[in-house]
């Protein structure tokens, strides 16, 4: 019998491709592609579940499924309920707890499976892994979530710092989800009507109308899934809907090995690292498996190591993580270790150190020897280790003319690209103010959390504070490394749980805004400057604030507001960094 190869070709590792259906507890059937290895079996299984046409993973997934099969795994690729080849109605996130548990149980019971299942996948396919575990799936023994929003809906998924993530909500619902949903509409008349609504959304995105101030609160003439997404942005931060499928209240239920993959410019970097921190803390306090972590210089959908005009070098892509191992090889080794008691998978953490442009191995992230460095916003636009002189800087927040998004950890639509984009054109605006250090005499390596403390007064009853950490090169280019936002009315709300009261900002009274820029691993080289920018908006990434407090369910007309940022020893506006004295080798 031919193995399907010609002279000089490698044998096909897939002995059989079988397209079948998985029956859920309510009878709904999900299309599932099974890829079987050569040999007698049974084999441990690896499963991925998502709404983006699972057959694409056969040739264009985050991992090379043919190599998973070659390593002796039964591979299962599954469309979730209501998507592509699967029956049912798609209800994002909420459906995956029960469905995921059923899918794992079905796969484990196949005669070709040993009864042991692992899962992998990025983005929504990471959510389905945690959901299956929460649904009760004893056969699920290990998960490998990448670029994951599974921690909370409030920290980069639907909101950030209390500000709706309108850009990524539109990008996901309109471009990733709507087209297949439209093709599934049975009535030709209704299908055509929904297609026209899709076109209306497309025009609104092109013109900017879809993300103008107040767009999240409007009643758009949009397709159903976009309306669904905007409805979620109108939900109170403490709403139970934001907890559907998330692990914010269930971190103790994650009792199996976890291998997390993230990107420094991924829209879900924050929740990926928060899951890592909480699992690591639980492992130290109560025992159990410590999480593994891999973070590259990647965006949500680009793991090449080249983005926004930056090239981090030949070893920066998922195809070569330094030392010749790629992303698939690292996953195979880890699955072998946790599912087959293979050779220990070490080291536990591998991150790409930008600036130095090299991979480093760590016992944990951030390293234990980090220290806190505070750089103070000071007179003359200087950023210094001690506050030098008191003063203030002013800017005007005009909702009709928001600051445009330029790079960063975004998931948007063209022409808005993720990554370390040059901020010079943005920094030249009158509504963006900056501070910077003198040129550095020696390397400064930031490795861990980044936050800003901003003392600000506004003439409005609400305010959004956007902060960017930038690396200013000797040629004057200013590349964004990390960024964040905080809405004043949400400053007392927990950014993970949504617990806490929203309150208006008192006009003309100084408030302290603490802005979380998440984390990074970046070396500022000699001759470079550390730069911090402050702006009132970043559109279309974040909902454009209207400078007025809006109680739940209320909408107010936008107004222009004046921001006054104060600094000095009595008002210590500052950038707070975790740094290491010597970068690990």
Q: At what angle do helices 188-207 and 224-234 cross, to 10 degrees?
A: 50
Nearest CA-CA partner of 536 in 544, 526, 528, 527: 544
pLDDT of residue 76: 98
Pair (178, 110) in one structural domain: no
Lowest mean pLDDT among 53-62, 121-130, 328-337, 576-585: 576-585
Pair (15, 78) in one structural domain: yes
Question: Does pLDDT of 71 surpass 70?
Answer: yes
- Between CA 168 and CA 255 the distance in angstroms is 31
pLDDT of residue 274: 97
The token pair at 249 is: 């209240």
Pair (420, 564) in one structural domain: yes
What's the average model confidence in pLDDT over 426-443? 98
- Domain ends where: 214, 236, 258? 236
What's the average model confidence in pLDDT over 342-354? 87
Pair (529, 381) in one structural domain: yes
Pair (492, 406) in one structural domain: yes
- Between CA 168 and CA 541 the distance in angstroms is 7
Q: How confident is the model at residue 8 (pLDDT cuts 50, 70, 90)?
A: low
203 to 165, 177, 402: CA distances (angstroms): 20, 17, 19
Per-residue pLDDT tens digits for 217-255: 776 689 999 999 999 999 999 999 998 889 999 999 999
Pair (437, 521) in one structural domain: yes
Pair (131, 191) in one structural domain: no
**Which runs of E-coded beta strand occur in 378-463?**
383-384, 391-397, 433-436, 444-458
pLDDT of residue 214: 86
Q: Quickly tell me which residue has 């998507």 as its tokens.
A: 83
| Bridge partners for 352 per DSSP | 359
In the chain the first and final C-alpha atoms are separated, in Å, by 51
Q: How many domains does the chain have?
A: 3
Does residue 247 lie within any of the structural domains? no
Nearest CA-CA partner of 529 in 481, 571, 465: 481
Complete edge-to-edge strand list for the sheet that includes strand 113-122: 14-23, 29-37, 74-79, 43-50, 113-122, 140-146, 259-265, 292-299, 349-353, 358-362
Question: Does pLDDT of 56 surpass 60?
Answer: yes
The answer to whether the CB of 496 falls within 8 A of the CB of 440 is no
Does residue 549 lie within any of the structural domains? no
Pair (70, 128) in one structural domain: yes
Does residue 488 lie within any of the structural domains? yes
- Between CA 534 and CA 395 the distance in angstroms is 9
pLDDT of residue 2: 39
Lowest mean pLDDT among 103-107, 180-184, 463-467, 550-554: 550-554
Per-residue pLDDT tens digits for 305-338: 999 989 999 899 999 898 778 999 999 999 999 9
Per-residue pLDDT tens digits for 468-521: 999 999 999 999 999 999 999 999 999 999 999 999 999 999 999 999 999 999
- Between CA 207 and CA 303 the distance in angstroms is 30
| Bridge partners for 444 per DSSP | 524
Write down the pTM of the prediction.
0.96
Pair (91, 186) in one structural domain: no
- Between CA 149 and CA 274 the distance in angstroms is 10
At 403, is the secondary structure helix, strand, or coil?
A: coil
pLDDT of residue 539: 98
Pair (58, 201) in one structural domain: no
CA dihedral 451, 455, 459, 460 (to 10 degrees): 30
At 226, is the secondary structure helix, strand, or coil?
A: helix
Per-residue pLDDT tens digits for 361-380: 999 999 999 999 999 999 99
Query: Judging by beta carbons within 10 Å of its beta carbon (0-12, 13-18, 19+), is residue 8 exposed, middle or buried?
Result: exposed
- Domain ends where: 213, 236, 259? 236
Distinct helix (H) and strand (E) counts, the chain: 11, 25
What percentage of the chain has pLDDT greater than the value 70? 98
pLDDT of residue 1: 35
Question: Does pLDDT of 344 surpass 80?
Answer: no
Pair (440, 494) in one structural domain: yes
Query: In which domain, by residue range, is 192 found?
Result: 163-236
- Domain ends where: 179, 208, 236? 236
């Amino acid at each position: 019998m031919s193995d399907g190869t010609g002279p000089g070709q490698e044998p096909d590792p897939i002995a059989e491709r079988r397209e079948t259906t998985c029956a859920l507890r309510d009878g709904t059937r999900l299309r599932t592609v099974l890829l079987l290895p050569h040999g007698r079996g049974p084999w441990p299984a690896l499963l991925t579940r998502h709404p983006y046409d699972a057959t694409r993973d056969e040739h264009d997934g985050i991992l090379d499924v043919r190599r998973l099969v070659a390593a002796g795994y039964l591979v299962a690729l599954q469309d979730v309920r209501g998507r592509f080849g699967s029956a049912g109605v798609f209800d994002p996130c909420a459906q995956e707890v029960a469905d995921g548990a059923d899918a794992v149980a079905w796969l484990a019971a196949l005669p070709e499976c040993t009864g042991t299942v692992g899962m992998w996948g990025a983005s929504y396919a990471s959510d389905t892994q945690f959901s299956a575990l929460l649904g009760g799936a004893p056969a699920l023994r290990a998960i490998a979530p990448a670029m994951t929003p599974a921690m909370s809906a409030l920290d980069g998924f639907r909101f950030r710092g209390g500000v709706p993530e309108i850009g990524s909500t539109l990008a996901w619902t309109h471009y990733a989800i709507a087209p297949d949903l439209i093709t599934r509409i049975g009535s030709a008349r209704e299908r055509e009507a929904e297609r026209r609504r899709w076109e209306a959304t497309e025009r609104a995105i092109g013109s900017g109308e879809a993300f103008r101030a107040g767009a999240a609160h409007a009643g758009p003439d949009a397709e159903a899934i976009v309306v669904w997404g905007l409805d979620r942005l109108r939900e109170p931060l403490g709403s139970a809907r934001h907890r559907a499928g998330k692990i914010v209240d269930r971190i103790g239920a994650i009792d199996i090995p976890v291998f997390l993959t993230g990107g420094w410019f991924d829209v879900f970097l924050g929740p990926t690292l928060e899951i890592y921190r909480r699992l690591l803390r639980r492992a130290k306090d109560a025992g159990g498996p410590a999480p593994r972590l891999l973070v590259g210089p990647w965006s949500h959908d680009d793991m090449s190591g080249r983005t926004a005009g930056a090239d981090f070098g030949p070893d920066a892509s998922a195809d070569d993580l330094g030392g010749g191992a790629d992303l698939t090889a690292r996953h195979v080794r880890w699955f072998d270790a946790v599912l087959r008691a293979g050779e220990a998978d070490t080291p536990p953490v591998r991150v790409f150190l930008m600036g130095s442009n090299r991979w480093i191995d760590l016992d944990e992230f951030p390293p234990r020897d980090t220290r806190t460095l505070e750089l103070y916003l000071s007179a003359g636009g200087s950023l210094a280790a001690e506050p030098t002189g008191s003063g203030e800087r002013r800017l005007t927040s005009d909702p009709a003319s928001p600051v445009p998004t330029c790079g960063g950890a975004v998931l948007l639509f063209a022409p808005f690209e993720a990554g370390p984009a040059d901020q010079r054109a943005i920094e030249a605006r009158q509504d963006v103010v900056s501070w910077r250090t003198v040129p550095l005499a020696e390397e400064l390596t930031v490795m861990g959390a980044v936050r800003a403390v901003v003392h600000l007064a506004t003439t409005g009853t609400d305010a959004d504070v956007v902060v960017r950490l930038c690396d200013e090169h000797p040629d004057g280019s200013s590349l964004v490394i990390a960024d964040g936002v905080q809405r004043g009315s949400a400053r007392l709300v927990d950014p993970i749980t949504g617990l806490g009261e929203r309150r208006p900002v008192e006009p003309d009274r100084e408030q302290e805004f603490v802005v979380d820029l998440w984390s990074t691993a970046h070396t500022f080289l000699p001759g470079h400057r550390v730069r911090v920018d402050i702006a009132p908006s970043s559109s279309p990434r974040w909902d454009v604030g209207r400078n007025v407090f809006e109680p739940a369910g209320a909408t107010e007309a936008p107004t222009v507001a004046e921001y006054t940022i104060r600094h000095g020893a009595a008002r210590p506006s500052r950038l707070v960094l975790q740094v290491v004295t010597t970068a690990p080798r």
